[in-house]
Amino acid sequence: MNRLYPLFFNPIYKEKIWGGQRIKSVLGKDYSPLLNCGEAWLISGVEGENTVVRNGFLADNELNELIEVYMDDLVGEQAFEKFGERFPLLFKFIDSDDYLSIQVHPGDELAAERHGSFGKTEMWYVIEAEQDAELICGFSKTVGREQFIDHLKNKTLRDILNTEKVKPGDVFYLPAGRVHALGPGILLTEIQQTSDVTYRIYDWDRTDPQGKSRELHIWQALDAIDFEVSDPYRTGYARKQDETVALVESPYFTTNLLQLTRPVVKDYSRLDSFVVYICTRGKAELIHRDGRLPVVRGDAVLVPAEIPDCRLIPSPEVELLEVYLVE
């Protein structure tokens, strides 16, 4: 059996009522014949929506098929024991040209009970944002279930929700249960548990070209919402060149930021996990045990768990998100 190598996948593109053009104009992705692209699923193990390898001898194989064959060599021992042949994380680009619905995701227990699914804890890393772009994240004041329902009926949810102005480089960690919505003018990377369960609470009374409203899931959402106020909602960190900067360390994934102006060797020999790099700016060369690969803005590459190290050479600069499972 041939050895594993860093894997690129063909994205799955999703046209959305709120989608824009930045996944093409900024990140260079061709999502034709879609009119817009709200989401590009870069690496996905969602059932029925597994991404397909585009490079090397494993090209045209789905991600789940690779795990079936390579098992812990691909994902790591702990991940294979816990998740089996299902890849545990989903990586996306999201481009919002309008408000997304106000929504919430269930946690592991509720998602398993209702949907036979994982919960959906996620994080956002903002790549581009128009001036005064904003998003909704959590509550601005403590409310109870009945107060929430009253605000929903009166269409005054904005009065109790927390709004944040955003800029490139902002990070938001969204544990399952946190109410949220992106506003227009934002391009970001989303890293999340492998789940496609979303409870739509309010969709701004909009309709599609046929005059139909999207389905809401208000009563399902009420059991999932965390009504507590959290402060701050934005994740603080210090940007540093040529160092590994921690952004998020959660039970579900670890995400670091790499802003490189010089070559760096990454030693993963003691890490029992795959690693995913998402290139948000610039370009680099990834040198591994069997060769070298270019990584450019808009790419996501999966480095299998059995590869002990790699070298990143920026050209001349690169910004990468580095993601792996908890050690």
Exactly one of 200, 234, 289, 292 is catalytic; which is it? 200
CA gap 77, 142 in Å, rounded:
42
CA gap 60, 54 in Å, rounded:
6
Tokens of 256: 């670091």
Task: Give the CA-trace dihedral at 165, 167, 170, 176, to 10 degrees.
Answer: 40
Concerning whether 200 is annotated as a catalytic residue, the answer is yes
Task: Give the CA-trace dihedral at 295, 296, 299, 305, to 10 degrees.
Answer: 20
Helices (H), ranges, the chain: 22-25, 63-70, 72-75, 77-83, 108-115, 145-153, 218-222
CA gap 151, 136 in Å, rounded:
16
CB atoms < 10 A from the CB of 89, how many?
Answer: 24
Using DSSP's 3-state secondary structure scheme, residue 183 falls into coil
CA gap 263, 170 in Å, rounded:
25
Name the residues annotated as catalytic. 200
